[in-house]
Amino acid sequence: MSIVRTEALTKVYGVASQPIYALNEVNLAVDEGEFLAIMGPSGSGKSTLLYLLGGLDRPTSGSVRLRESDISALDDDALSRLRRTSLGFVFQFFNLVPVLSARENVAMPLILDGVRRVDALKRADDALARVGLADRGAHRPSELSGGEQQRVALARALVAQPAVVLADEPTGNLDSRSSDEMVQVLRQTVDAWGQTLILVTHDPRVAAYADRIVFLKDGKIVDDNRLKGQGSAEQIREQLNIMALG
């Protein structure tokens, strides 16, 4: 069963006489535990789609259903509550509150939700351990590397055990090594904990980790590519031989 589903999701910007379709009747269903990458050229509407999925923006028409309930119908407060309980976000930039320590940042959604500070911080520590940063909790964001900051952001996205984690170019600002680490951690959350993960990226290397790649162009899905499990090593070796030996 799909955990997130959009129905004829449409987002129009600009004036009525000259509408710009950021999204045009997009139908997309994401299964539980799926790692979905959304790709497409800039302006294709991939970020818009992610924002609509996360309830950060409201669709012009159509609906987003999270676990079969229409989130487009919720008011702002209800959406806020939904975001802190059922959704997790990772952005490209400015991910952490600079004046709070890593664990306080991670605990933020719980604290906003009214969980006791002690409990929230304990769960934050668990989440940090999951992304391999158990020992960095006390540090301020400025004391962490870019890759570590992004993993803290992931921990924050995971801490409330959300239905879906949404990531917008989470590696866009990282060097390739940190980028690899980040994607591996993302992959791991899907493999080990069955986390549903939707990620927008322009980086094919990042997308290659996903289970499924959806291509957007001009506000429409032009390709939906379910990557078949893991290819046989033998077959690949053969291909590589051809390449390596020219």
Partner 1 sequence: MSVKHTLLALLYQQPMHGYELGKQLNLVVSAEWDVKPGQIASTLTRLRDANLVDYEIEETDDAPDRKVYHITEEGRRELEGWYLSPEVRQYRLGDAFYIKFVLSLVGGPVSPELVLRTQRRELFQQLHEVTELSRQADPRTQLPWILLLESAIMHLEADLRWIEMCEARLPDLKHYTPPKPQPKRRGRPRRQRTKPRQAQELKPVEE
Partner 2 sequence: MTAKTNSFGTKTWQMTLMALRYLSGRKLRTVLTTLAIVFGVALIFAMNLVLPGIIDAFNQSMASVTGADLTVTNVAGGSFDPGPVLERIQATDGVQAATGILFRQFTLPERDEGDVLGDLKEIELVGVDPATVNDVSRLVMHEGRFLEPGERGSAVISTSAAALAPRLQLGTDFSLVTASGLQTFTVVGLFTSDSVLAVPQFILTLPDAQAALDQPGLINAVEVLLKPGADRDDVAAAIERGLGDNFTPADNATLTALPAMDVAFAMFNLFGALALFLGAFLIFNTFRTVVIERRRDLGMLRAIGATRRQITQTILIEGAIQGVGGTLIGLLLGYGLAVGMLAAMEPIMHEFIAIDLEMHYSLSAFAIPMILGPAVVLAASYWPARSAGKMSPLEALRPVPLAGMRHAARWSVIAGGVCVVVAIALLVSGSSGAIAGALLFLVGMVIAAPGLVLPAARLFGPLVTLWFAREGDLSRGNVARQPGRAAITASTLMIGVATVVMMAALVNSMMGLASDLTRETFASDVLVVPQSVAVYNNVLGAGEGLAEQIRALPEVETVATLRPASTSTDGSPLAVLGIDPAVYAQVSSIQFIEGDADEAYAALRTGRNAIVTALAQKMLGLDVGDDFVMETAEGPQTYHVVAVAHDVLTFKTSSAVISQANLAADFHTSEDVMLMINLVPGADKTAALADVQAALAGYPQFTAHLSSEYGDDLIETSMGATRLFYFVAALILIPAGLGLLNTLTINVLERTREIGMVRAVGGSRSQVRRMVTGEALLLGIFGAAMGVLSGVAISYGVITAFSMIGWELPYTFPAAGIVAALVIGVLLALSAGILPARSAAKLDIIRALQYE
Residue ranges that bind partner 2, judged by CB under 8 A: 51, 54, 56-57, 76-77, 80-85, 87-89, 91, 93-100, 104, 108-117, 119-120, 156-157
- How far is it, in rounded angstroms, from Cα 229 to Cα 246? 28
Residue with token string 């924002």: 51
Query: Is 100 among the residues that bind partner 1 (CB under 8 A)?
Result: no
Shortest approach of partner 1 to residue 132 CB, angstroms? 15
Q: Which is nearer to partner 2, 114 or 229 (CB)?
A: 114
Shortest approach of partner 1 to residue 44 CB, angstroms? 11
Q: Which is nearer to partner 2, 54 or 219 (CB)?
A: 54
Query: Is 220 among the residues that bind partner 1 (CB under 8 A)?
Result: no
Shortest approach of partner 2 to residue 135 CB, angstroms? 22
- How far is it, in rounded angstroms, from Cα 36 to Cα 64? 16
Query: Is 116 among the residues that bind partner 1 (CB under 8 A)?
Result: no
Pair 183, 176: CB distance under 8 Å: no
Shortest approach of partner 1 to residue 183 CB, angstroms? 9
Residue with token string 């001009």: 218
Stretch that binds partner 1, among 82-90, 98-106, 140-148, 209-217 (CB under 8 A): 209-217
Stretch that binds partner 1, among 56-64, 94-102, 140-148, 217-225 (CB under 8 A): 217-225
Give contact residues for partner 1 (rule: CB under 8 A): 41, 184, 187, 204-205, 207-210, 213, 215, 222-223, 225, 227-228, 230-231, 233, 236-237, 239-241, 243-246
